[in-house]
Amino acid sequence: MTIASTEIRHPAAQGLQTLPPERAAALLAEAQVFAAARVQAAIPAITAAAEVVARAIEGGHRLVYAGAGSSGLMALADALELPGTFGIPADRAPVLFAGGAAALLSLTGAAEDDPAGAASDLAAIHLGPGDAVICVSASGGVPYTLAIAEGARAAGATLIGIANVADSALLKAADIAILLETGPEMVAGSTRLGAGTAAKIALNMISTLTGLRLGHVYEGHMVNLVADNVKLRDRAARMVAELSGSDLGAAGGALGETDGAVKPAILIAAGAEDRGAAEALLAAAGGRLDPALRALRAEPG
């Protein structure tokens, strides 16, 4: 039987328990840096995945995340950040996690071996053509995740597979295969380490590239957010001031007029007559701030 590379003992782990803590920590850090560097080779696949995801969201479809155990947690973390970072509603990015909400309080291995649970989870969300599904599995062979992958393909959704083992079943099934070849873990089989780090980076890259493609990031700022707490209101005011060329007082006033929505507030602070005018500029620009600002500044008077 072939053993997955993630299950093999790392050569540097021999005698790990005997090392001074500082040396053990250094080895662990080096292994994480190595894992992070392995993402570079997957950039073409990651960019292709982001394009598929952006088209899905732009077309009114969904981005669905799926996984089990540590891999599922990486997927869940990325999905939960989408509303606050890019203004993508949670119902447009559901997460299928082996064992459901209960498993988040107590991770158990049995849930990942349950394809029947995957079938039930799939039935609940009614996948269809136009949806994009990201399945994450370090080994690329977890039964729950593979069942989701098979169901996604059968429903006509585009399947993006992220795995850390070459030629794994998930990558073979995927329309877009993202191989993060991180190799053995410092604690054999503990894929929350290097494999998880690489998967988190790849997921961050896909969602951020999606945000860029959709116009939700402008000049390095998350402009599609709605400021609904003190931290976000302060951040939003600084953002509006910087991107509109106004002062903080004008920025705060513009945000008050838009109920905390950053994009129209930037346009108001930059000279748009009111919220209606700002939203009309955004609509004409497909929701993208850059062309909306150019159109505003080109207006006579």
Distance CA 237, CA 252 (A): 6
- Buried/exposed 46-83: b ≥16 CB within 10 Å, e otherwise: bebbbbbbbbbbeeebbbbbbbbbbbbbbbbebbeebb
Tokens of 15: 């005698």
Q: Which of 112, 150, 185, 279 is catalytic?
A: 112
Q: Which of 7, 51, 58, 81 is catalytic?
A: 81
Judge whether 30 counts as a catalytic residue.
Answer: no
Contacts of 164 (CB under 8 A, 6+ apart): 5, 6, 138, 139, 140, 179, 180, 181, 182, 191, 194, 195, 198, 199
Contacts of 91 (CB under 8 A, 6+ apart): 62
Tokens of 88: 């993508």
Judge whether 81 counts as a catalytic residue.
Answer: yes
**Is 98:118 a contact under the CB 8 Å cutoff?**
yes
Three-state DSSP class for residue 268? helix
DSSP state of 175: S
Active site residues: 81, 112
